[in-house]
């Protein structure tokens, strides 16, 4: 198989992966944002609760009560919380930073003091080399001073960091699975297509039409395509076989008259030079070549009709008009032989067929009927509609066909004992049958020696 630069499978897979990545990224962003919000809220709640405690202590006994409890009590939180109290003049009265939690640049907190009592302002100081990140609230105390309580955002940061790490791993694994799964899926889905390509390439390379594809069990589009492709191969194969056969037949059938043609010339040249002999031979040769031409045309017609290549101009028309045309052609011939040609047609019977071809069929059958009838005989063309077909019958009171000859009369170039003395190529009935079959109809003959024959055509009503 010729490699495709960016195969359908690769493109499917690429698209699939891109979609997976984008989807994962979106999920991560949403989850991260939600987590961040949740962590921040819980941190604020902790700070808030602690600030409430400090405010209560301050309310009970002012700064001394607050500081003494801050240092003495277990719940004072001096190991965890940053605490600063400012006077109404914004002078720091008290400040404590947990000693094992590093530095805190309080200058950042100078300008965030709310003016009204009980108002709250939150400030987040991002982490840098010198200090950890801090979450700090500032509130106004009833005496006009300010209370600032803070907590490191360390827990929050490390949680989000872990989340990112975990997610990165999960995303990596998901992506790998996605790519592998995508590859597997597209491969699986495209296997029949690959087989199709392989088969087609094989057919093109070898010219053999007998290859078939394994049809998948599923009834999906690919299965349908495979089936249809097999049907197409089948049809092509039949067509090619038939055409080959037709070509062989035509070649075979032409050899005889061409041999005769050559024979005529050779015979003339063998004797003494003689203008009259030559003239005769040349005339023979011309007639013979005309015969070859007619034969070739008729054989081509038969082959085209048999292989389904004959173009039929299917139109509805009145059958009686065509029958009248055909009979008119033989008017004088029939008169001369004193043969009565009559019709028994259902009035205004319309058939859908190729008008010229059907006329050709009738002309051929009439020609036979008149040819093989003795003077005084009768020929009748009748037609009647049935449920889903039209039956046309051409009957004569002629010599009839012996039963053993009946199956062979349709063969190309077959001529019965009686017809050998008559003019003709032995192709008429083959052409008749081929044309009728090409119309989807059938033809058969009923015949009794000495009494006559009856050719019955059945044409489908569509």
Partner 1 sequence: MRQTATIERPIMRVLVVEDDKKIASFVARGLKEAGHSVDIADRGDDALDLGLHNHYEVAIVDLMLPGLDGLSLIERWRAQKVKTPVIILSAKRSVDDRIKGLQVGGDDYLTKPFAFSELLARIQALVRRSSQTVEPTTLSYADLTLDLLSREVRRAGKKIELQAREFALLEYLLRNAGRVISKTTILERVWDYNFDPKTNVIDVLVSRLRSKIDRDFDRKLIHTMRGFGYVLKLE
Task: Work out the number of other CB atoms within 10 angstroms of the CB of residue 5.
Answer: 5
Is 277 a binder of partner 1 (CB under 8 A)? no
**Of 241, 283, 314, 374, which lies in the binding site for partner 1, with binding defined by CB under 8 A?**
283
**Of 425, 442, 445, 460, which lies in the binding site for partner 1, with binding defined by CB under 8 A?**
425
The rounded distance, in Å, linking the Cα atoms of 377 and 29 is 102
Task: Work out the number of other CB atoms within 10 angstroms of the CB of residue 329.
Answer: 14
Q: Which is nearer to partner 1, 137 or 301 (CB)?
A: 301
User: Residues 175, 14: contact at Cβ < 8 Å?
Assistant: no
Q: Which is nearer to partner 1, 52 or 287 (CB)?
A: 287
User: Residues 186, 15: contact at Cβ < 8 Å?
Assistant: no
**Of 290, 321, 411, 462, which lies in the binding site for partner 1, with binding defined by CB under 8 A?**
290
User: Sheet of 340-345: strands edge to edge?
Assistant: 340-345, 378-385, 389-396, 452-460, 442-448
Secondary-structure percent of the chain, ordered helix, strand, coil, rounded to 5 = 55, 15, 25
Of 359-398, binders to partner 1 (CB under 8 A) are: 360, 363-364, 367
Q: Which is nearer to partner 1, 55 or 359 (CB)?
A: 359
Query: H helices within 331-378, ranges in order?
Result: 331-337, 355-371
Q: Which is nearer to partner 1, 342 or 356 (CB)?
A: 356
Task: Work out the number of other CB atoms within 10 angstroms of the CB of residue 147.
Answer: 19
CB of 333 to partner 1, least distance (A): 5
Angle between the 154-206 and 221-270 helix axes, to the nearest 10 degrees? 20
User: Residues 399, 449: contact at Cβ < 8 Å?
Assistant: yes
Is 286 a binder of partner 1 (CB under 8 A)? yes
Report the SS3 class of residue 354.
strand
**Of 134, 330, 372, 455, which lies in the binding site for partner 1, with binding defined by CB under 8 A?**
330
Is 329 a binder of partner 1 (CB under 8 A)? yes
Is 293 a binder of partner 1 (CB under 8 A)? yes
Q: Which is nearer to partner 1, 1 or 276 (CB)?
A: 276
Is 289 a binder of partner 1 (CB under 8 A)? yes
Contact residues for 77 (Cβ-Cβ < 8 A; gap 6+): 50, 70
Is 311 a binder of partner 1 (CB under 8 A)? yes
Of 16-45, binders to partner 1 (CB under 8 A) are: none
Is 216 a binder of partner 1 (CB under 8 A)? no
Q: Which is nearer to partner 1, 226 or 364 (CB)?
A: 364
Is 108 a binder of partner 1 (CB under 8 A)? no
CB of 200 to partner 1, least distance (A): 30
Taken as a whole, the chain contains a residue count of 462
Is 321 a binder of partner 1 (CB under 8 A)? no
CB of 257 to partner 1, least distance (A): 14
**Selection from 422, 429, 425, 418 nearest residue 455 by Cα:** 429
CB of 190 to partner 1, least distance (A): 42
The rounded distance, in Å, linking the Cα atoms of 378 and 372 is 11
DSSP bridge pairs for 94: 85
Is 287 a binder of partner 1 (CB under 8 A)? yes
For 7, half-sphere exposure in the C-beta direction (CA atoms, 13 angstrom radius) is 15
- Element housing 172 (H / E): helix 154-206
Instruction: Name the token pair of 454.
Output: 């009856």
CB of 416 to partner 1, least distance (A): 16
**Selection from 415, 462, 457 nearest residue 434 by Cα:** 457
Options 13-21, 49-57, 189-197, 355-363: segment touching partner 1 (CB under 8 A): 355-363
CB of 338 to partner 1, least distance (A): 13
Is 416 a binder of partner 1 (CB under 8 A)? no
Options 15-23, 35-43, 124-132, 328-336: segment touching partner 1 (CB under 8 A): 328-336
Q: Which is nearer to partner 1, 30 or 293 (CB)?
A: 293
Is 332 a binder of partner 1 (CB under 8 A)? yes
By the criterion CB under 8 A, which residues form the site for partner 1?
283, 286-287, 289-290, 293-294, 297, 311, 328-333, 336, 356, 360, 363-364, 367, 423-425, 428
């Amino acid at each position: 198989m010729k490699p495709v630069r960016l195969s359908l499978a690769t493109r499917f897979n690429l698209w699939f992966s891109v979609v997976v990545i984008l989807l994962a990224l979106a999920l991560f962003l949403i989850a991260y944002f939600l987590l961040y919000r949740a962590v921040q809220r819980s941190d604020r709640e902790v700070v808030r609760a602690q600030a409430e405690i400090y405010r209560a202590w301050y309310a009970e006994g002012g700064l001394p009560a607050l500081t003494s409890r801050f240092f003495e009590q277990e719940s004072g939180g001096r190991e965890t919380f940053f605490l600063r109290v400012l006077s109404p003049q914004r002078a720091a009265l008290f400040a404590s930073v947990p000693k094992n939690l590093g530095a805190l640049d309080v200058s950042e907190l100078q300008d965030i003091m709310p003016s009204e009592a009980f108002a709250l302002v939150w400030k987040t100081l991002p982490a840098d080399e010198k200090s950890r990140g801090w979450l700090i609230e500032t509130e106004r105390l009833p005496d006009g001073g300010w209370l600032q309580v803070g907590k490191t955002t360390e827990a929050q940061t490390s949680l989000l960091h872990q989340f990112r790490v975990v997610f990165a791993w999960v995303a990596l694994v998901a992506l790998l699975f996605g790519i592998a799964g995508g590859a597997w899926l597209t491969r699986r889905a495209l296997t029949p297509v690959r087989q199709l390509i392989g088969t087609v390439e094989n057919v093109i390379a070898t010219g053999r039409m007998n290859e078939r594809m394994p049809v998948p069990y599923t009834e999906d589009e690919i299965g349908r395509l495979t089936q249809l492709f097999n049907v197409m191969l089948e049809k092509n194969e039949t067509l090619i076989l038939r055409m080959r056969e037709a070509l062989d037949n035509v070649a075979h059938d032409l050899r005889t008259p061409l041999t005769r043609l050559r024979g005529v010339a050779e015979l003339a040249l063998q004797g003494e030079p003689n203008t009259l002999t030559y003239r005769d031979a040349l005339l023979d040769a011309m007639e013979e070549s005309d015969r070859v031409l007619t034969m070739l045309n008729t054989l081509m017609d038969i082959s085209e009709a048999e292989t389904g290549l004959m173009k039929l101009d299917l139109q509805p028309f009145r059958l009686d008009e065509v029958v009248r045309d055909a009979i008119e052609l033989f008017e004088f011939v029939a008169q001369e032989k004193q043969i009565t040609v009559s019709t028994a047609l259902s009035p205004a019977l319309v058939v859908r067929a190729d008008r010229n071809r059907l006329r050709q069929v009738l002309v051929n059958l009439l020609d036979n009927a008149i040819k093989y009838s003795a003077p005084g005989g009768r020929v009748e063309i009748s037609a009647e509609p049935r449920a889903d077909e039209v039956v046309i019958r051409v009957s004569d009171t002629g010599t009839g066909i012996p039963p053993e000859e009946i199956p062979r009369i349709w063969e190309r170039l077959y001529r019965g004992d009686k017809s050998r003395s008559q003019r003709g190529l032995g192709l008429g009935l083959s052409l008749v049958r081929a044309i009728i079959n090409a119309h989807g109809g059938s033809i058969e003959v009923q015949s009794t020696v000495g009494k006559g024959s009856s050719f019955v055509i059945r044409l489908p009503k569509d």
